[in-house]
């Protein structure tokens, strides 16, 4: 991995003390082994008033020093988390100036062991987002896909996310983009035990990128908050059309100023995706079946540390690497049925994919009671290679030339960001920030067609190398104010993007420059102590993905291909939402979105060649209306969880197309997630959904439903957790239809279902945390331990 740029943030904090005398007190703090205790808390008290005069933390050698101490009588208290607290005898100082040396030896003491109890996820609704905090809950999850099922309204079908009929969901990890990652693989492979909380951001404020037209899901990863050294080992065994297995390990340590953690894992998964299309081409029927089993392998390694310079200044760095390999052979069977004849074409499409991603993220943070400054740099290096062979494997009267593709892609992403937040008072706060991101991508598609002599020759109509260079500059400001029962939040974000796309093969370059302001407003009124009313508005942009801009032609089977569209323009969305909350829980909401130049995936058919193509175009407008109701399930004794319904209306319109496109559909979605404590200490979970159908782009799909059940129990003093999960219990496929222009087709999509997973999770090492009754824990260490990420 090559790094073009690197930024490192460092700030030195200088403290100035008042000079009130010439007395000084110094000493060394050590443990029973005479090892220095770094960052121990040393407080100087006036003896008569017990008022703290000054305080400090010991140095790297365990030394403290109080200078210029005035005349009087004093005591010194020394404390450190994990050790006893000691207080000195009375120290009498005169105005003549003396130097006193006073050493302390602290004995280690046993801290209270963390007792993890079964607790449901904490759900909180604000005017801008829905927060699902799972860090302290006893969840039975294996991956990010399972965690998503705990977010009210989010439906997961075949690795695709949907929020009550709305697509275009954008996933962030710790606020950072995942646009370059295979989202299906991310959902299946990202371990659930790395996740602290999930935020469903329905109305993003100015601090978020303006990118996207649908909801944003921000996955916040855990930070280590346990003292000492500890870790875990996890193994997974399952069956998903084939056996799968995985193993991972993590270790972390939190001592004094340094907090570090590292993890590694390997996963060999199993999956299947089948696609059956039946379509009319003039007076013939084309029945296309693609059966695609595959066994992806994923290797993960990550690490990072936080170093606490003092109670206000912190810097750190995180880094990770992911490699995903996937080999598969898709069997394509096309039956062409005419009135008096039937012909068959059988091909195999073999894929050999290899994706590697490296990220590095150094940061610096200053934080006190009123101010917070964050400087952040993020570097991403993504490489993708794919060899694809589409071969005819049986004799057939249908003419077809074998094809071979080599598709390589590299992405380098640099992001620099600075944020400042200020708490002016209990009723007013404000913030501002700046961000610069730069993306350099290189996509190279080499296409070859086999001639009559069996030689593969370059297909110049498809071969293309496409370069994209994009830079985005953003500035934002935001403030929050509260007056009696009213709360207001307003923000303004400015973004300027410059995009240059170059087709090396076609010797053509296109540029796109956009400079716009994106306002966001939320207003909240407290009706009673429990009930609040929220209204919100945001304005956003959805830029075309890099892959959709590539002018590639790429075949999936002999009659189905995908092509890029370098003429795409960005879409702009006005989003409104009204909601009621009860005790900070979601209760009722109504939303409306209007998108101009909406990015729409359209399927067209060439009757002469019988081929269908899939590409993205700009529609004139997309309108979306939604209404939802949410309720907890804790009125049933022993049951924790929630249930809810969402009504959604989608409408796509465009007079630019011939014939005019006018699609609309109502849909109704019910969802639930519940946890129940069974006898013998067994925890159980169930999640499910049902939707009447809806629109997925041009496809009108019928009802679909899903149910998952999981059980877990702990052994060996709660260090070993055994979990069993039954996923996709219902055997319900995706059924859809397309009827537009000359396209008259039905679609069936099936995937791996009725799956079972067994997971063993063993924790080792320190399980110690702060005892809430202890008074000798420093404010700084307490804040870190109680940090909610």
Angle value at C-alpha 574, between 573 and 576, nearest 5 degrees:
135
**pLDDT confidence of 168, banded at 50, 70, 90?**
confident
Indicate the pLDDT class of residue 735, thresholds 50, 70 and 90: very high
CATH number, residue 55: 2.60.40.10
At residue 138, the pLDDT reads 62
pLDDT tens readout for residues 321-336: 999 898 889 999 999 9
User: Considering the domain boundaries, does residue 544 fall inside one?
Assistant: yes
Contact yes or no for 314/11 (Cβ under 8 A)? no
Q: Is the pLDDT at 489 greater than 90, yes or no?
A: yes
Cβ atoms 457, 469 nearer than 8 A: no
What's the CA gap between 555 and 312, in Å, rounded? 56
User: Using CA atoms, how far apart are residues 706 and 157, in angstroms rounded to an integer?
Assistant: 8
Residue 652: name the closest of 594, 606, 701, 608 by CA: 594
Single out the residue of 764, 786, 784 nearest to residue 230, CA to CA: 764
Is it the case that residue 748 has pLDDT exceeding 60? yes
- Least-confidence region, from 153-157, 601-605, 763-767: 763-767
- The reply to whether 364 and 498 lie within a common domain is yes
Q: Which residue has the higher pLDDT, 634 or 702?
A: 702
Closest to 286 measured CA to CA, from 699, 698, 611: 611
**CA angle, corner 8, sides to 6 and 14, nearest 5?**
165
**φ, ψ of residue 262 in degrees (nearest 5):** -150, 155
pLDDT at position 564: 84
The kind and range of the H/E element at 467 are strand 464-483
Establish whether the linkage from the previous residue to 768 is cis, with ω within 30° of 0.
no
Q: Is the backbone of residue 635 left (phi > 0), alpha (psi -120 to 50) or beta?
A: alpha
Task: Convert the pLDDT of each residue in 387-410 to its tens digit.
Answer: 999 999 988 888 889 999 998 999
HEC sequence for 508-548: EEEEEEEEEEEEEEEEEEECCCCEEEEEEEEEEEECCCHHH
Rounded CA-CA distance 600/35 in Å is 66
Segment holding 457, helix H or strand E: strand 456-458
Q: Would you state the pLDDT for residue 783?
A: 42
Which of 40, 73, 106 marks a domain boundary?
Answer: 106
Q: Summarize pLDDT for 264-306 with one digit per residue, the tens.
A: 999 998 888 899 999 999 999 999 999 999 888 999 999 999 9
Q: DSSP secondary structure string, 649-669?
A: EEEEEESSSSSPEEEEEEEEE
Q: Which residues, in sequence order, are CB contacts of 720 under 8 Å at separation 6+?
A: 714, 760, 761, 762, 763
Picking from 376, 487, 375, 481, the residue whose alpha carbon sits closest to that of residue 423 is 481
pLDDT band at 415 (very low <50, low <70, confident <90, very high): very high
Look up the CATH number of the domain holding residue 644: 2.40.170.20
CA dist., res. 314 & res. 11, Å (int): 9
Tell me the residue ranges of DSSP E strands in 21-82. Answer: 23-31, 41-46, 52-57, 63-69, 72-79
pLDDT in tens, 27-42: 999 888 888 887 788 8
Give the residue-averaged pLDDT of 121-136.
Answer: 80
**Which residues are 781's β-sheet partners?**
none
d(CA 312, CA 365) in angstroms, rounded, equals 8
Q: Which domain holds residue 71?
A: 23-106
- The pLDDT-based confidence of 758 (bands split at 50, 70, 90) is very high
Tell me, yes or no, whether 542 and 688 share the same domain. yes
**Distance from C-alpha of 291 to C-alpha of 282, rounded to nearest angstrom:** 26
Calpha distance 760→746 (Å, rounded): 43
Q: Residue 150: name the closest of 118, 196, 202 by CA.
A: 196
Nearest to 31 by CA among 76, 75, 86: 86
Domain final residue, candidates 89, 106, 123: 106
Asked if 254 and 781 count as a contact pair (C-beta separation under 8 A), the reply is no
pLDDT tops 50 at residue 17: no
What Rg do the C-alpha atoms of the chain give, in angstroms?
30
Give me the pLDDT at residue 622, please. Answer: 92
In the chain, the percentage of residues whose pLDDT exceeds 90 is 45
- The structure tokens listed for 20 are 């009130």
pLDDT digits (tens, 9 = 90+) for 611-620: 999 999 998 8
Q: Count how many Cα atoms sit within 13 Å of the Cα of residue 680 in the half-sphere of its side chain.
A: 4
DSSP states along 485-507: TEEEEEEEEEEEEEEEEEETTTT
606: part of which helix (H) or strand (E)?
strand 599-606
- Return the pLDDT at 592: 95
Give the burial class of 13: count Cβ atoms within 10 A of its Cβ; 0-12 exposed, 13-18 middle, 19 or more buried: exposed
Q: Is residue 437 part of a domain?
A: yes
Tell me, yes or no, whether 27 lies in a domain: yes
What's the half-sphere exposure (Cβ side, CA atoms, 13 Å) at 54? 17
Is 777 inside a domain boundary? Answer: yes
Number of C-beta neighbours around residue 30 at 10 A: 18
Beta-bridge mates of residue 413? 380, 439
Q: What pLDDT is recorded for position 572? A: 95
- As a whole number of angstroms, the distance between CA 301 and CA 327 comes to 22
The helix/strand/coil state of 358 is strand
Residue-wise pLDDT tens digits, 515-565: 999 999 999 999 998 899 999 999 999 988 877 877 778 788 899 988 888
Torsion of CA 498, 502, 508, 511, to 10 degrees: -10
Q: How far apart are CA 84 and CA 32, in angstroms?
A: 11
pLDDT at 260: 93
Q: What is the pLDDT of residue 521?
A: 96
Tell me what pLDDT residue 121 has.
Answer: 65
Residue 472: closest CA among 209, 253, 200: 209
Instruction: Name the pLDDT band for 257 (thresholds 50, 70, 90).
Output: confident
415 near 404, Cβ under 8 Å?
no
Token digits of residue 125: 């609704």
Give the model's pLDDT for residue 701.
93
CA–CA dist 669, 154 (Å, integer): 10
Within 674-764, residue ranges assigned H as helices are: none
- 502 shares its domain with 355: yes
Please tell me the total count of domains within the chain.
2
Secondary structure (3-state) at 186: helix
Rounded Cα distance between 636 and 634, Å, is 5
Cβ neighbors of 91 (< 8 A, separation 6 or more) are: 25, 73, 74, 75, 76, 100, 102
Residue finishing a domain among 86, 106, 126: 106
Q: Does residue 125 lie in a domain region?
A: no
Of the candidate ranges 112-126, 180-194, 666-680, the one whose mean pLDDT is the lowest: 112-126
Residue 687 has pLDDT above 60, yes or no: yes
My answer on whether 241 and 92 are in the same domain is no
Residue 7, pLDDT above cutoff 50: no
Burial-class residue 178 by CB neighbours within 10 Å (0-12, 13-18, 19+): middle
From CA 39, how far away is CA 10, in angstroms rounded? 20
Instruction: Say yes or no to pLDDT of 481 above 90.
Output: yes
Which of 179, 185, 187 has its CA nearest to residue 209? 179
Q: How far is 736 from 746, CA to CA, in rounded Å? A: 6
Q: How many CA atoms lie within 13 A of 438 on its CB side?
A: 7
pLDDT band, residue 139 (cuts 50/70/90): low
- φ, ψ for residue 465 (rounded to 5)? -115, 125
Return the pLDDT at 709. 93
Residue 768 domain-assigned (yes or no): yes
557/562 Cα distance (integer angstroms)? 10
* Confidence check: pLDDT of 2 > 60: no
The answer to whether residue 414 scores a pLDDT higher than 90 is yes
CA–CA distance, 306 with 24 (Å, rounded to integer): 33
Structure tokens that stand for 108 in this block: 């280690």
The mean pLDDT value of the chain amounts to 85
Cα–Cα dist 541/544, whole Å: 10
Closest by alpha carbon to 2, among 431, 462, 414?
414
Residue 141 covered by a domain? no
Is 627 part of a structural domain of the chain?
yes
């Amino acid at each position: 991995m090559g790094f073009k740029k690197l930024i490192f943030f460092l700030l030195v904090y200088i403290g100035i003390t008042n000079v009130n005398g010439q007395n000084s007190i110094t000493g060394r703090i050590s443990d029973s082994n005479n090892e220095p205790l770094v960052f121990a808390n040393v407080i100087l008290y006036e003896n008569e008033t017990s008022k703290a005069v000054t305080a400090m933390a010991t140095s790297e050698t365990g030394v403290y020093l109080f200078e210029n101490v005035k005349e009087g009588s004093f005591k010194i208290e020394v404390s450190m988390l994990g050790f006893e607290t000691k207080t000195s005898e009375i120290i009498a100082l005169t105005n003549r100036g003396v130097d006193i040396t006073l050493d302390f030896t602290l004995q280690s003491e046993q801290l209270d062991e963390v007792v993890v109890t079964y607790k449901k996820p904490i759900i909180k609704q604000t005017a801008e987002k829905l927060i699902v905090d799972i860090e302290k809950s006893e969840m039975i999850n294996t991956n990010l896909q399972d965690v998503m099922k705990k977010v009210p309204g989010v439906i997961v079908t075949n690795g695709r996310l949907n929020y009550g009929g709305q697509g275009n969901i954008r996933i962030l990890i710790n606020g950072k983009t995942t646009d370059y990652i295979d989202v299906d693989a991310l959902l299946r492979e990202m371990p659930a035990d790395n996740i602290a909380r999930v935020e469903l951001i329905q109305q993003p404020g100015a601090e978020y990128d303006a990118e996207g037209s649908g909801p944003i899901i921000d996955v916040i990863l855990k930070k280590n908050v346990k003292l000492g050294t500890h870790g875990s080992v996890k193994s997974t065994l399952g069956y998903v059309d084939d056996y799968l297995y995985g193993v991972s390990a993590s270790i972390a340590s939190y001592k004094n100023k340094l907090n570090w953690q590292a993890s590694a894992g390997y996963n060999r998964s199993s999956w299947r995706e089948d696609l059956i299309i039946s379509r009319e081409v003039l007076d013939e029927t084309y029945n296309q079946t693609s059966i695609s089993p595959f066994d992806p392998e994923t290797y993960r390694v990550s690490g990072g540390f936080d170093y606490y310079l003092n109670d206000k200044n912190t810097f750190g760095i995180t880094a990770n690497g992911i490699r995903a390999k996937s080999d598969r052979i898709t069997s394509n069977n096309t039956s062409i049925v005419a009135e008096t004849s039937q012909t068959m074409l059988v091909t195999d499409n073999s894929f050999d994919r290899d994706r590697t991603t490296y990220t590095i993220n150094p940061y610096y943070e200053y934080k006190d009671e009123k101010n917070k400054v964050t400087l952040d740099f993020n570097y991403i290096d993504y490489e993708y290679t794919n060899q694809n062979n589409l071969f005819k494997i049986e004799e057939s009267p249908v003419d077809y030339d074998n094809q071979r593709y080599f598709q390589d892609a590299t992405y380098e992403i640099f992001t620099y960001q600075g944020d400042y937040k200020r708490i002016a008072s209990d009723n007013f706060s404000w913030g501002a920030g700046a961000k610069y991101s730069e993306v350099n991508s290189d996509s190279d598609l080499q296409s070859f067609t086999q001639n009559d002599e069996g030689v593969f020759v370059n297909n110049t109509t498809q071969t293309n190398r496409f370069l994209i260079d994009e830079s985005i500059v953003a500035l934002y400001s935001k403030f929050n104010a509260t007056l009696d029962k009213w709360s207001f939040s307003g923000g303004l974000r400015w973004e300027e993007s410059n995009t240059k796309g170059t087709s090396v093969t076609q010797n053509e370059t296109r540029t796109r420059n956009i400079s716009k302001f994106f306002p966001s407003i939320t207003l909240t009124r407290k009706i009673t102590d429990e009930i609040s009313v929220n209204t919100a508005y945001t304005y956003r942009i959805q830029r075309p993905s890099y892959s959709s801009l590539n002018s590639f032609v790429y075949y999936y089977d002999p009659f189905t291909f995908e092509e890029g569209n370098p003429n795409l323009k960005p879409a702009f969305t006005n989003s409104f939402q009204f909601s009621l909350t009860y005790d900070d829980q979601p209760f009722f909401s109504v939303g409306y979105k209007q998108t101009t130049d909406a990015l729409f995936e359209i399927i067209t058919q060439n009757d002469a060649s019988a081929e269908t193509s899939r590409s993205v175009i700009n529609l004139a407008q997309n309108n979306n209306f939604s209404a939802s109701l949410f309720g907890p399930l804790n009125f049933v004794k022993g049951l924790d969880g929630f249930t809810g319904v969402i009504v959604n209306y989608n409408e796509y319109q465009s007079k630019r197309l011939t014939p005019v496109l006018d699609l609309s559909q109502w849909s109704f979605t019910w969802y639930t997630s519940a946890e129940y404590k069974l006898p013998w200490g067994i925890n159980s979970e169930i999640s499910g959904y049902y939707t009447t159908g809806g629109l997925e782009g041009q496809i009108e799909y019928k009802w679909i439903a899903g149910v998952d059940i999981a059980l877990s129990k702990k052994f060996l003093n709660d260090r070993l957790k055994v979990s069993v999960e039954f996923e996709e219990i219902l055997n319900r496929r995706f059924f859809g239809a397309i009827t537009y222009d000359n396209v008259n087709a039905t679609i069936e999509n099936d995937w791996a279902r009725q799956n079972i997973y067994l997971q063993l999770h063993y924790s080792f090492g320190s399980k110690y945390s702060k005892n809430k009754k202890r008074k000798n824990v420093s404010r700084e260490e307490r804040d870190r331990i109680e940090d909610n990420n």
